[in-house]
Amino acid sequence: MLRHEGADVVRKGRPWSLPLEDRALLVTAYWRTNLTLRQLAPLFGVSKSAAGLIIDHLGPMFALQPRKRFAKDTLLIVDGTLVPTRDHAVAEQSKNYRYSTNNQVVIDANTRLVVVVGRPLPGNRNDCKAWEESGAKAAVGRTLTIADGGYPGTGLVMPHRRRKGEDLPDWKNVHNTSHKRVRARVEHVFARMKTWKILRNCRLNGDGVHHAMLGIARMHNLTLAG
């Protein structure tokens, strides 16, 4: 797929020291293990600078393309996840007491495939604002989307809230239980994505964390699709 998308096009200047297959493996190994470039480069027989160039060049080409159309009966789930990030220019201290970015991820409730990944925002940004500012809302459009209680005023389907001194009627409790079971699927997706260790402590600067999120989302989808 990378070759079809132009990742191996001959360009001016010095040719790559590794074939495309090995370069793709280097990028995915970096995301999976979060080794430093000094540790990773000798495993592929290249210099530290060459490994960095390969990651910068090929990493964005792994990016998941957001789905543009949804069937009428599609049900989506959105939630935000924090990714600890060393680049303080794109991160802020968040509830995990680390400099992190808030990443809005939308999945298909039926297939558990990631369909949209919003642009990372500072980790102190709450989900209801990040939903719109990250571009996830615009990408989803009017497709029915559910979320947890952290998205008030967004028009998303959230669980019923119990007011102080009141008890929820049985039908609302039943609805909340069903809502919780379905929404848990996005948490399962996060658990799978965070087996890629770069999402536990990202050392990449600038758009690096965004490229890693998009690339890992695509790898997650490829794994599910077989």
The per-residue pLDDT for range 113-169, each reduced to its tens digit, is 999 999 999 999 999 999 999 999 999 999 999 999 999 999 999 999 888 878 888
pLDDT (0 to 100) of residue 118: 96
How high is the pLDDT of residue 16? 86
Q: Which two tokens stand for residue 143?
A: 């497709």
Burial of 77 by CB count in 10 Å (0-12 exposed, 13-18 middle, 19+ buried)? buried
**Contact criterion met (CB below 8 Å) for 143 and 107:** no
Report the amino acid identity of residue 95. K
Residue 29 to residue 11: CA distance in whole angstroms = 25
Residue 113's pLDDT is: 96
Residue 7 CB burial class (10 angstroms; 0-12, 13-18, ≥19): middle
Amino acid at 119: R
Please determine, for residue 104, whether its predicted confidence score (pLDDT) is greater than 90: yes
| pLDDT on residue 70 | 92
What integer is the mean pLDDT of 163-180? 89
Number of H helices, E strands in the chain: 7, 6
* pLDDT tens string 25-84: 999 999 999 999 999 999 999 999 999 999 999 999 999 988 888 998 999 999 999 999
pLDDT of 209 strictly over 90: yes
CB-based contact 85:91 (threshold 8 Å): yes
Q: Whole-angstrom Cα distance, residue 222 to residue 178?
A: 28
pTM here is 0.91
